[in-house]
Structure 1
Amino acid sequence: MEGVVVRGAQRGRDLGFPTANVETLPHTAIPADGVYAGWLHAQGEAMPAAISVGTNPQFDGTERTVEAYAIDRVGLDLYGLHVAVDFLSFVRGQAKFDTLEALLEQMAEDVKRCKELVAAAEKP
């Protein structure tokens, strides 16, 4: 899927996993809610990514979003840029955790798993 990076709630940045929130146009085909391994394509580069699709139930979200965390990248400023997201593999469904610490532990595991899956795959 493709779209422009827009400002979100900026929770990912505060949690140590800054994401590119990709604006989705009506009628865009988007996978089911969950966490995926894949790539974020920006500025001519395909970056390994952990991708979240859904409503952010941990924070009682209602709007469905697509957010891509460029794994091991620091200081990316993609606001306003047109990017593409390639989905490689489903990692897990969305969930609401009992504590923020439990969410952060799961996010770290998700990123580790996504990194492994992308490393084993052929780059698009």
Structure 2
Amino acid sequence: MRFYKKCLYCQEELVGRTDKKFCDPQCKSAYQYKQAKEQPERFYDRVNNQLKLNRKILKEYNKGGKTTVRSSIIINEGFNPKFFTHYWKNKKGDVYLFVFEYGFLKIQEHKVKKYVLIKWQTYMENQNLS
């Protein structure tokens, strides 16, 4: 007795083992990709994607190691200051938030909101985080 089953992705008739679900690895991969896309985005993925975007934006605007940029510019690019990986407090008491090796500090100059952007330095590792 022969069972006729169809590929879960392309609906072609399957030949071979009785428990076979896909006609080839490409159909299996495409089916799994389609299933994953239909699932709601996981919390981990949302956070990870925002961290990646924040890092990319900070890197793009901080080519020299330290710079100041209007907050509206990077916010419009998709930067979200609520997503960061760690912080560093300098001797003056300013707390820089970091997205991996790129840090930012929110300031206000002449009634304009800005961010001071810096890059992580080795001397920062030796100071206590408090």
The interval holding the TM-score normalised by the smaller chain is under 0.3
Q: Which has the higher contact order (CA 8 A, sep 6+)?
A: 1
Higher strand share: 1
